Each structure stands twice: as C-alpha cells, then as structure tokens.
Chains A and B, each alone.
Chain A
C-alpha cells in the first residue's frame, strides 16, 4: 500500500471493506521519445527508449503483437524500489534462460538501481572479464529483433538502455542497420568492422614491434622512410606510441565531457598540437601520429561503445607487450585474449558461438548477412525448442 502511494498510485478505501482498490494514477514529467543518439542509423527506425519503463514496454508491445510476448515485473533496490521488467516471447525464448534471468535478478540485494548498468554488473557471468557479456541498446527495433531470436530483455525504470541476454561476441559488431540495408552491403560493412576491430586492438603494437624488432619485415622504401622520420626523435618508438595514445585518450575524454561548442575547440587544439606541432618540433615521428590516428578512427567504427572501450584498454597492454617482446609477445597476448574469450559464457551460451563451438549453419549471420528470405532458423544455442523462424519463401 505504502509502495503504491510512493509510486504515485491512488488507493481507494471503502468503509467496511478490508481491501482497497489501487488506481494507477502515476504521472510525472518525462522526456519525450527522441532520436537515438548513441546508435544512430541512416536507414531504419529513429526512435529510442526513454527513462520511463512503461513507455519502453509499450514501444516493444507495439512491435510484437502476440499474446506470448510476456513482460514480467520485479522490484529491485531496498531504497529505490526500481521497477525492472523481464521481457521475452514465451514459445521462442529458452525456459532455462528465462528462469536463470529471474533467479539472478531476485538474488540481487542492493540499496538502489539507478541505471541498467548496475544490473549488468550484478548479473553478468564473469565479473572480472574486461569484455562485456551483456549487450545493451536504446533502440526498440533492435531489442524487438533480439526478442524474436529468443533472447530475454531486461528493462530497468530510469534507464533508456535495455539489456539483452544471452549475448555472444559477434553481436557487438552488428549494427541494427545491417538488417535494413541490402545484404551485400551489410556483409561488406561487417568485414570492415572486423578489420577495424583488429586494427584498433593491434595496429600500434604491430607498428612498434616492426619498427624496433622486425625491421626486415617492412618493405625497404617504407623502412627507410620511417627511419628518416625518426631521425632526431628523442623517445623510443614504444614511448612515443604510448605517449601519443595517451594524449589521444585525454583528448577524447575531454571532448566527451565538454559542451559541444568548447568540444570543437578542444579537437582543433588537439589536432594541431598532436598532428602538426609535435611532428614539426621533432618530438614524435609522423608515422606514429598516422598510426595512432588510424587506430583512433578504427576504434570509433565499432558499433558497440562498450566493446570499443574494451579494445582500447587492451590496446595499451598490447602496446607494451609488442614493444618489449615483439611479434612473439603480440601473438602470445592475442592467444591469451582468444583463450579468455573462448572461456566466457553468457547465460549458458558460449561467448564465441557460433565460431567456437562452431556451427557452420549459423555462420550465415556472423561475418556475412544472408537475406531475410533465406534466414530460416534462429540461433539454436539461444532459442529454445522453437528454432524455425519461417519457411523458405518470398513474396
């Protein structure tokens, strides 16, 4: 009773009756539905989730008009009593996953949930891994599509980011737009992002390793050109690359925090200082600036911000390993990362599936995207018994 009053409902007591009627009279100022800012697309729906749970669920309900689409409510947080909804399609989602999600959510004992990020950290499988194991999105179309694949969405009141489980690694490289654009183009973009991911992880370390240990692997004219640029540079290549990466991260961080107008000033100063003055003053070589710049741009082309920052973090580790142990160290580090990825799981689904354990039939939506009329099956590790999506027909 107290809770419903605190939530804005109106209880009606009738004299002589032991029970009361609670009328939902909740109402508050809320942000109106606006365009997605973090996951913008060229083609596709533009609207994004807002901070109000019921608005969000209504957006999903509007997309999936089926009685099997279930939204279950929970309250989490001793003080905040935050409404959390678990949404899934009953005959598509795996029962075990739904049970597991509810079990983990009810086990949470925390004073308050302010954002879905709290929930993510409380329920993910490996809390020590640098890799995110739960995907989040503010796009209702994306969440609806994932529900249709048999995933379970966790919506938290007060947060426009909706969590989806189980999550696999390749999901972070897929943009909602992939499914709206022509499939050839989407396939090309996926390869592009894969290349960008590898570059963002390894490019500076490969550059440093090649320049300090494996000069014979650089084509002669390029090697001579790099040597000429490094003439008179006071730092070692490792130090140089590390410093540039460091400054780049500072600039990026500053750019995010500042208001738009000042942010531009920062980027101008940064580009001038890092790009030109440092090279002209002979503090760093032009090649290093180019490598750091390409790496920075590559890391921005990964659609999911949470995995992009993971790679950014690992990039520094790779840089140090590459600068001290050369290619040997890079390969060792990559193998360790790969082993770690292979060991991860998200709600019972191996993180690297369908690559490892491999399932060749599901590779049609990993690096490439097959057209919708050929996409007959749901991912079988994710979906329950109801694996078949549609018949092989076209209109």
Chain B
C-alpha cells in the first residue's frame, strides 16, 4: 500500500507541474507597455510582445539565418480601468503576458495631463511590474506611434528606447525617473515630481524615431507642462544630477561669434535657503570642472587670461540654463520641481511649518540667487591649436 502511494506521488510530479509553474516558452514577454486614456475616459493599454523565435539569432531547428519576421507584435486593449483593460488581453492572446522583464512604462500625454494616480495604483499593486521600471511621458505622438517606430539599430523599438534612457543616465541631458522615485516624490510634500520625456519625431506625418530629451513637470500626479532640454538641464544642475554632459557656448571670450564645446567631467551643486523674517530666498551654488573638446577660433590656451575667459563663458551659459529652468517651473508652471521647499524644510523646519500652507503662493515669487564657478581642467591633446601656414 505504502509503496503504491509513493509511486503515485513520484509519478504525479512528472505528469503535471505545480500550480504556478509556467514554462518559459509559454510566456508572452512584454517589453514596453504604454498606458493612455482616450476621449471617452476609457483606459488604453498597449503592449509590445516579443516573439523569441524570431528574435534569436540562431534558433535550434532553423539551421541558419533565414530572414525571420518581425520580432515583436503590438497589442492594444481598452477598458473602464487599467485592470480591466489588462485582463481583456486574455481574449486575444495565446500566451500569458509576462511583465517581469519590462523596464519601461510609457505614459501617454492625455493620461499624464489628467492624472496618473489610477495607473500608478495598478502598477504598484501588481507584483509583476518592476518597481524600478522607468516612467516616461510620450510627447509629440501617441503610444501607437511609439510602438511602430521604424528607425532602430536594435531589433525592436523597446531596446532602442531602453538604450537611450540608460545612455541619458550617464550623459544627463534628460531626466530619468523610475516608479520608486516617482512615488517617493509624490509622497513628499516639499517637492513635485518630474518625469523623463520621450519625444516622437515625425517625418511626413509618419513616426520616424524618438528622442529622449527634456522632461515633464508634474503637480502631484498631474502633468502641468513639458520642459525643454535646456530647462531640464537647468533643473538637473540645481538638483546636483549632472554627472557627465556636454556644454556648448556660442560666443568667444572676446565677444566673437563662434562655437566652443566643453564636456563636464565633475559637477556639484548646493541649494542653501536663507530666512529673513517672513522673507525666504535661496542661494544656488554650482561648481564644475570641464574639458574643452572643440573650438574653431585657434585660441592659445597657454594664456591664463584666455582660460579665465573660457571659464566665464561656461559660467554664463550654465547660469542661463538654470535661469531658464527657474523661469519655466517657478513662473510658468508654478511647481516646485527643484525641491526648494524640501531644502527649506531640512534647514528651517519651523519656518517651513509656518509657510507650507501658503507655499504655493510664496514659491513663484521667491528670490533665487545663482552663482556658478567653472574650472577648465584640460584642453584635450592640443594646447596650441594647429596653425596652417
């Protein structure tokens, strides 16, 4: 009897799997999921599902590099809320959607403007979504446009965009925000969230490729406006997020019209609040080191005055970026994306407690003093420019 029972148990292990067992080839790998809302307030989800067999360079049975079809397929679904829209996918897919390998969530502009709270709830409640997924607002087109981008060095658009985002993390010319970071800033009253922005570039009305530049400023969960590359950089300068980026000034040290490029090698910044009674102001200090990478006016860099002049130019440029950013977030959109309130709260918690209810009124008129200090470290391999004779 006992032997029969043991045999039964052992056999049952092979016959079926465990209840949550999923063979890897029965999964629909989702890479790139886009969420938007349409005119009728219905929720839309678009997913890019990979076709592994078409994706693999050499598949087992194939025996060669015969041109496989498109390595991905795009599916969309509609529902009263995101959960419903998501479950609707079951009606048209043979495999279960597998989200754990998805690292980007695209947010349509309509959804962003009307508030992403419901999406955020769905995404954070479902354990299949990675909390480290990047949030990206799509501007200049719809999510469908994005999924059908034609220009790509990678095998499918998602890879291309992921590469862009990861690149930008290093070159810091766009704001990179993941779910964790968004939720964190959303739950902090002294600062408002910013989300990276993906701009779709169209040619003859057809989406061609995408650029990951600039950002979208949010007030709580609602987008209030888009920030340009310049403005985004300004915010990143203030928030000490600049690691490695390029800087182009468009005039020479003597006021001549030219272009000089620098690359930032090290930067740090600080925001110091100053309180004088009811009057609050902030000092923004930015220090950075840079290398010169291109100029076309044959500057002699063995001259100290010349170096000083070039440093002044960079300071001016960075200052203008910061002022642009302040103009956008402080005057135009009136959101504290930089986190001035947070700095005030950290240093003068009592003052903050008094002001926080009126912060929305005070903030747009707060005075911000910006001072920038640039150091030109190296000029590449050239100290004296090439002189044609």
A residues near B (Cβ < 8 Å) are: 211-213, 215-216, 220, 223-233, 236-239, 242, 279-280, 282, 285-286, 320, 323-326
Contacts and interface: CB of A to CB of B under 8 A. Distances in A.
Given A213-B21, A229-B60, 19 more contacts: A211-B24, A215-B101, A216-B101, A220-B29, A220-B31, A220-B101, A220-B103, A224-B52, A224-B56, A225-B56, A227-B25, A233-B25, A236-B17, A236-B23, A238-B17, A242-B14, A280-B63, A282-B61, A320-B13
Contact of B24 (A212, A238, A242, A326): A212
Given A223-B101, A320-B13, A325-B18, A237 B60 contact: no
Contacts of B22: 212-213, 215
B59 interface: yes
Contacts of A212: 17, 21-24
B17 A285 contact: no
Residue among B14, B60, B103 facing the most chain A CB atoms (10 A cut-off): B60
Name the interface size band of chain B. Answer: 20 to 34
Interface string B54-95: 011001110100000000000000000000000000000000
B50 interface: yes
Nearest to B12: A324
A48 to B, nearest CB: 42
B27 interface: yes
Contacts of B61: 232, 280, 282
Interface of B: 13-14, 17-18, 20-25, 27, 29, 31, 50, 52-53, 55-56, 59-61, 63, 98, 100-101, 103
Nearest to B22: A212
Contact of A228 (B13, B55, B101): B55
Contacts of A320: 13
B175 to A, nearest CB: 24
A226 to B, nearest CB: 6
Contact of A227 (B13, B17, B20, B27): B27
Given A224-B55, A282-B61, A237 B24 contact: yes
Nearest to B98: A215
A231 B31 CA distance: 19
A216 B27 CA distance: 11
28 contacts: A211-B24, A212-B17, A212-B23, A212-B24, A213-B21, A216-B100, A216-B101, A223-B24, A223-B101, A224-B50, A224-B55, A226-B24, A227-B25, A227-B29, A228-B55, A228-B59, A230-B24, A230-B25, A231-B52, A231-B53, A231-B59, A232-B61, A233-B25, A236-B23, A280-B61, A324-B13, A324-B18, A326-B18
Contacts of A233: 25
Nearest to A242: B14
Contact of A229 (B17, B50, B59): B59
A224 B60 CA distance: 14
A238 B18 CA distance: 11
A365 B319 CA distance: 63
Nearest to B28: A227
Contact of B23 (A228, A237, A282): A237
B25 A215 contact: no
A230 B56 contact: no
A44 to B, nearest CB: 45
A216 to B, nearest CB: 3
Contacts of B52: 224-225, 227-228, 231
Contacts of A216: 100-101
A280 B60 contact: yes
A285 B58 CA distance: 12
Nearest to A211: B24
A169 to B, nearest CB: 29
A326 B17 CA distance: 11
Contacts of B17: 212, 236, 238, 324
Contacts of A229: 56, 59-60
Question: Which 5 residue pairs across A and B have the least CB separation, nearest first?
Answer: A216-B100, A228-B56, A228-B52, A230-B25, A227-B52
